[in-house]
Amino acid sequence: MVPKLTVCTGFTLMKKNPFKCYFECVSEDRCLSYNFLPIHDKETSRCQLSGSDRFVSQVNFTKEDGALYRGIQ
């Protein structure tokens, strides 16, 4: 189980893989982290960009099976 933001302070996109999600985050000045959650039987998956990370605010984090969390800094 990996950490995931319970409150997304950014926005959610649909992306094919975690690398595309990463590039969306680094291209957004306010993005400090992202979650990538594969959706089985779908061509795209959920990519959540966030203006916070686990160092700024740990209280917003929970665990979700299958979710990939990555901080940018």
Q: Encode pLDDT of 28-45 as tens digits.
A: 888 888 989 888 878 888
Q: For residue 34, is it within any domain?
A: yes
Q: Is residue 26 part of a domain?
A: yes
DSSP letter for each residue of the chain: -EEEESS-SSEEEEESSHHHHHHHHHTSTT--EEEEE--TTSSSEEEEEES--TTT-GGGEEEETT-EEEE--
pLDDT at residue 7, as a whole number: 42
Q: Which domain holds residue 36?
A: 18-71
Its pTM stands at 0.72
Which tokens hold the place of 57? 């605010």
Residue 25 lies in a domain: yes
